[in-house]
Amino acid sequence: MTERDFHHIPTFDQLPVKSGAPPESCWGVFGDDDPFGCLNFLTREGVVEAARLVQSGKIFRLDAKIGFATPPLFGRATVRHNVIPLGPLAHDDLLDQFNTQEGSQWDGLAHVGHIRHQAFYNGVRVSEIREGHNTRLGIHHWAAKFVGRGALIDALAFRRAQGRDVNPLESGCYSLQELQEALHAQHTELKPGTILLIRTGWMEAYEACDAEKKRAMAPMENIRAIGVEASREMAAWLWNNRIAAIATDSPAVEPLPIDFRDEGALHYRALPLLGLPLGELFVLAPLAEDCARDRRYEFMVVSTPLHVEGGIASPPNAVAIK
């Protein structure tokens, strides 16, 4: 696909295009066997354009250290890193019980299926993932795809600049209007094929907690987080702007807790319906501070997910280069 082909892509109001596909889904738009979803908006031309944004040579790591969340959120396993002697003067690493979602992560398209339609992106069934080795939606498809123009919305700074209080560790919401106003204030444009990063302040607030507080907030039922509005309008805005992926420094992109009985959850709107990758627990503060300094909120993003055949998710293994 090239950028010229984007003009033939339906708008959100024209979805779905395939008979039998759920409302507000893009199933079939990129082909019935497509594994990329909105990553199709990342093109070779877009990679070249993104490389032109590199001006200072500064590199920002976007994922936290493996094991940063202690204990990991949502009751996920704690990874154990062992250094294994290979010989008298040689070593290997062993990562025991490594959950690819223990920290910074891209949710792949086999992570969450739609509660009503009982299917994943493009109609993939749960049996294809559990018994069929997840060949159609495995994270391996993304291993050499996730490169393009990144843009940051510093929603935290925007809200603070208005003199409004933010507690990222409480359930709360950055509205679509607020994100649009923040973009305007930053003089930042969305362009087709943008990997959109949104700083909510959650990671910084989490890092400031003591060990006891981190332990208390980690279980699924206790975790609270600010996130972006989970609405039809938000899904339409992301799709109509041809956003390739959205990532935040919060644990679920949308506010927590999520009521997964509610079809309006952004996890449903994004992953199974639009094939839009969700990035969680990204490290965005150092990048945001640099953007505020040079007033440039766009850069190149290079993310190389783990090359795990049939994988569900992956640490982003990502950098922003300015």
Footprint of ligand UVW on this chain (CB under 6 A)? Answer: 101, 107, 252, 258, 267, 280
The answer to whether 62 and 301 have CB atoms below 8 angstroms apart is: yes
> Which uninterrupted H or E stretch holds 273?
none
SS3 255: coil
Which CB, 92 or 259, lies closer to ligand UVW? 259
* φ, ψ (nearest 5 deg) of residue 184: -60, -45
Give the Cβ contact number of residue 97 at 10 Å.
10
The nearest distance, CB 39 to ligand UVW, in angstroms, is 17
Query: Minimum Å distance from CB 229 to ligand UVW?
Result: 16
Q: Is the Cβ of residue 113 or residue 150 nearer to ligand UVW in the bound state? A: 113
In whole angstroms, how close is the CB of 105 to ligand UVW at the nearest point?
6
- For residue 182, the minimal CB distance to ligand UVW (Å) is 24
Query: What residue has token string 């509005």?
Result: 229
What is the closest distance, in whole angstroms, from the C-beta atom of residue 252 to ligand UVW in the complex? Answer: 4
* Residue number, 229 or 280, with CB nearest to ligand UVW: 280
- To the nearest 10 degrees (0 to 180), the angle between helices 232-240 and 176-186 is 40
For tokens 């090359």, name the residue: 307
Residue closest to ligand UVW (Cβ)? 252
Q: Which is nearer to ligand UVW, 6 or 74 (CB)?
A: 74
**What minimum distance in Å lies between the beta carbon of 124 and ligand UVW?**
17
- In the complex with ligand UVW, which residue's Cβ is closer, 212 or 221? 221
Residue with tokens 């943008």: 194
Nearer Cβ to ligand UVW (70/180): 70
Contacts 24+ apart (CB under 8 A), 215-222: 215/70, 215/71, 217/73, 217/169, 218/69, 218/71, 218/72, 218/73, 218/74, 218/75, 219/74, 219/75, 220/74, 220/75, 221/257
Cβ proximity of 153 and 184 under 8 Å: no
Buried b (16+ CB within 10 A) or exposed e, 35-57: bbbbbbbbbeebeebbeebeeee
Q: How far apart are CA 254 and CA 249, in angstroms?
A: 11
Beta pairing class for 147-153 and 298-303: antiparallel
Is 75 or 132 the residue whose CB approaches ligand UVW more closely?
75
Q: Name the minimum Å distance from CB 143 to ligand UVW.
A: 20
Q: Are 120 and 126 in contact (CB under 8 A)?
A: yes
- Nearer to ligand UVW (CB atom), residue 291 or residue 318: 318
Minimum gap (Å) between residue 224 Cβ and ligand UVW: 12
